Structure 1
């Protein structure tokens, strides 16, 4: 029962979120799965490392798919996301935490950048948000 209520809450949250909120939610998920993958690697838990790193890769793929290719910064973001995907695959193959830690640091910085950009856009024009470049 509680799980069904939680799923309904999450579904409603996603359906009512702005594009900027959805982007930040994607970053939050990728960050969470990277951290879980790093912990699993450090604990020699191969199965959990694989599951979490694949989830992080899936989110990075979603970031690539949803990228607005008409934005000037999109080409740079695309290359960066592709690099993240490469690092996550290498980390998963080698069960090495270092590549995931690199991705994690970039994700944390990018998330903060998007949060700040959304705040600036919202303060600059009433209710405007940031689209995924």
Structure 2
């Protein structure tokens, strides 16, 4: 990222200094945002298919990052269930991208939003939403 752009510099600093909990929330938020872009663009009269495809791929990349960050030793059954969900999400998004079908994105978008909200509550109750956990994305589930 270029530090010449103040917004990019702010984002980079925000990511580098974020707690584990905050990073997880940020990943979910960006996945939601990317899926919203794809759904909105598919609803446009003449959708920009490259924008749709790129947004879906970005959402898939984020979900893959969440997937590989799961800690199955600490997370147990929750981590396994999250992994299965993430696999399903990526399969749905792949089909949505191939078919350019917003109806395949919407349920994934809703579930990712629900997961983001649930994690936000977990980190808020644990008092680790903005501090208390080291940076990184290795989540226990």
Same topology, TM > 0.5: yes
Q: Which runs of 4+ in 1 moved over 3 A?
A: none
TM-score by length of 1: 0.90
Distance 1:14 1:40, change over 3 A: same
1:112 match: 117
RMSD: 2.0
Q: Structure 2 CA distance, aligned partners of 1:69 and 1:7?
A: 33
Distance 1:3 1:52, change over 3 A: farther
2:92 to 87, 106, 110: 87
- How is 1:52-63 mapped onto 2 (pairs within 5 angstroms)? 52-63=55-66
The number of equivalent residue pairs is 130
Could you say which structure has the greater relative contact order, defined with CA pairs below 8 angstroms and 6 or more residues apart? 2
CA positional deviation for 1:3: 5.6
Q: Is the 8 A contact 1:20 1:118 kept in 2?
A: yes
2:28 match: 27
- Bigger helix share: 1
Structure 2, gaps ≥5 residues long = none
Q: Structure 2 CA distance, aligned partners of 1:57 and 1:5?
A: 27
CA positional deviation for 1:2: 8.8
- How is 1:1-133 mapped onto 2 (pairs within 5 angstroms)? 4-43=5-44, 44-70=47-73, 71-72=75-76, 73-122=78-127, 128=132, 132=139, 133=141
